[in-house]
């Protein structure tokens, strides 16, 4: 009986984990959009070497009360594979190291000067005009509108 309960508990955990993954999946895309809008890939690229968190915060020109949240954003984007962390020497005389952020191939194709720049596509696909129709799927299925876009915006995509 305990084995059966253990198996059910394991199945429940797997089911919850699967569901949570899908519920929170949008956070990665929206965090990437935020990083692009803040100019983080360009800042790191223009820095010419991996950038420390204080250097990044200074370059971002954000409200001082938001500075503490940049680490969370970067940690999520590192976990998602858009940036990597490395250790850099704080200065030449000391052996003390600090964590710094660098670009990955995925973030390099978001750079403005890159021939394969996907920044405009990313911003377009995550624009509220194109994201909001996904909130209207149920009413679209039940209604007479031709597309979910029309359900959300009251007109067709090309109108």
- Specify whether the backbone of 39 is left (phi greater than 0), alpha (psi in -120 to 50) or beta: left
Q: For 51-94, how does the pLDDT look when each residue is reduced to its tens digit (9 = 90+)? A: 999 999 999 999 999 999 999 999 999 999 999 999 988 776 66
The reported pTM is 0.85
* Model pLDDT, residue 3: 52
Query: Which alpha helices (DSSP H) does the chain contain, by range?
Result: 2-23, 26-38, 40-47, 53-60, 67-79, 105-108, 119-125, 128-131, 137-142, 148-153
Q: For 118-135, how does the pLDDT look when each residue is reduced to its tens digit (9 = 90+)? A: 999 999 999 999 999 999
Query: How far lies 146's CA from each of 21, 105, 140, 150, in Å?
Result: 31, 39, 8, 7
- What are the domain boundaries of the chain? 28-116, 127-159
* Model pLDDT, residue 1: 44
CA distance 32 to 122: 9
Query: How far lies 73's CA from each of 37, 69, 105, in Å?
Result: 13, 6, 19
Q: What angle do CA 51, 57, 63 make, to 5 degrees?
A: 165
CATH fold of the domain at 28-116: Arc Repressor Mutant, subunit A (1.10.10)
* pLDDT above 70: residue 43: yes
Task: Report the share of the chain in percent with pLDDT over 90.
Answer: 77
- Rounded average pLDDT over 108-121: 96
* pLDDT above 90: residue 10: no
Contact, 139 vs 70, CB < 8 A? Answer: no
In the structure, what pLDDT confidence band is assigned to residue 4 with cuts at 50, 70 and 90? low
* Model pLDDT, residue 6: 63
């Amino acid at each position: 009986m305990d084995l059966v309960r253990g198996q059910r508990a394991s199945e429940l955990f797997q089911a919850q984990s699967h569901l949570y993954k899908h519920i929170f999946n949008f956070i990665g895309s929206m965090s990437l959009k935020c990083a692009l809008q803040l100019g983080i890939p360009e800042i790191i690229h223009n820095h010419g070497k991996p950038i420390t968190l204080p250097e990044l915060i200074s370059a971002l020109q954000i409200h001082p009360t938001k500075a503490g949240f940049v680490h969370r954003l970067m940690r999520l984007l590192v976990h998602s594979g858009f940036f990597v962390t490395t250790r850099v020497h704080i200065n030449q005389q000391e052996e003390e190291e600090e964590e710094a952020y660098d670009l990955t191939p995925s973030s390099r194709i978001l750079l403005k000067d890159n021939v394969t720049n996907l920044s405009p596509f990313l911003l377009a696909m995550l624009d509220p005009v194109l994201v909001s129709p996904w909130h209207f799927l149920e009413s679209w299925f039940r209604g007479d509108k031709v597309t979910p876009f029309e359900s959300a915006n009251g007109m067709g995509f090309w109108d």
